[in-house]
Chains A and B, each alone.
Chain A
Amino acid sequence: MDFKSSDTLTSGMLSGPREQDVLPATAAAAVKIVIVGGFGVGKTTMVGSVSEIRPLTTEETMTEAGIGVDDDYGSETKTATTVAMDFGRISISEELVLYLFGTPGQERFWFLWNGLFEGALGAVVLIDTRRLEVSFDVIGRLEERGVPFIIAVNDFPDAPRHPVEALRTALDLEKEVPIVHCDARRRTSSRDALLTLMRYLHSLAMARA
């Protein structure tokens, strides 16, 4: 094979799930929800607060061709960028597992993970009212991809408080799209944001049936 084995493999230091993190043999299928938002809005915090396992990190490497570099020998400069994504897990039943991915805000990274958005049940968009505009692009990308989402306003202490309808107008959202408050550090608050997403997805499914 044409890749360098990770040091973890060759050193025999391979770690696996802790005993309490092992899924039952009956686990038959998984679903996923993505948690998106601009830089520093609390994605990692939310994944960590609701996950039953210690949050893990998966990575992907991307090779970018150097821009405007074209020497006499026709070779290109390429830079490899490693993009990391945190994720957590919630066992729904003996058969069903839910995974939560805290996905980097920059859309140019999303293609790295095939089907991450296309296959997700839906998305929670975290916003910070001090920097609302950092989430605009992410919301637009979800709309383009037809991914249903809710808005969770993360509860930063010095962030301005706006009326929900003023936020809805500013974010240009349909009246059905739920907007909730959340403290990503609190398990119950993060869980409630996920439940709001699920109720919304359910109402969409009812409307379509």
Chain B
Amino acid sequence: MTHPQDPSLDSYDSLDPLDAFTAPDSLDDVHDPRFQAEVPVKRARRGPENPERLYILTGEDSERAPLDLVTLIVAKGEPSPTAQPEHSAVLRLCRTPLSVAELSAYLVLPVSVVTVVLTELLAADLVQARAPLVRSALPDRSLLEAVMHGLQKL
């Protein structure tokens, strides 16, 4: 029986990341004093509310996605001495790529405020936005494999 603290939980390193998922047959150790065969509560499954919305993001001709939390922002140049403080701060932080979420964290500003600043900087062509890869109806298998290989190196 595999105990949750069994070090074999960490033995995925030896596995191919593409190995089919196999459910652990034992989260349950009947000799564990905490073992309880019965679960006292019960949930009811829900279905998709509006299946079409799954496809909205993936359409080729869909509107350009607004700035996402993980859109990577890169400055195109140095701030001018007369730039607003928010603009200069973003340009300084984005000398190397930085996500909108990280900008919000380092600037200690709400995401909606950061988005306003970035929209202005984009309009002035002072920053570049690198759009995220989002879940789609037909997921890109090579992307999923890349993420798996990256995680295995951790």
Residues of A within 8 A of B (CB): 1, 3, 5-10, 14-17, 22-25, 27-32, 50, 56-61, 82, 87, 89-93, 96-99, 101, 112-116, 118-122, 129, 132-133, 136, 139-140, 143-148, 153, 155, 158-164, 166-167, 169-173, 178-181, 183, 186-189, 191-192, 194-196, 198-206, 208-209
Contact = CB atoms under 8 A, between A and B. Distances in A.
Contacts of B64: none
Interface in B77-103: 84-86, 89, 92-93, 96-99, 101-102
A147 to B, nearest CB: 8
The A interface is mostly helix, strand or loop, or mixed, namely mixed
B21 A200 contact: yes
Looking at A32, A59, A161, the one whose CB has the most chain B CB atoms below 10 A away is: A161
A6 B108 contact: yes
Nearest to A52: B154
Interface string B56-94: 110000000110111110100000000011100100110
Contact of B105 (A32, A57, A189, A203): A57
Contacts, number: 300
Contact of A189 (B9, B27, B111): B9
Interface string B100-133: 0110111111111100110000000000001111
Contacts of B104: 58-59
Contacts of A121: 135, 139, 144, 147
Given A189-B9, A208-B138, A172 B42 contact: yes
B48 A145 contact: yes
Contact of B109 (A6, A32, A129, A204): A6
Given A16-B92, A23-B97, A192-B9, A98 B147 contact: yes
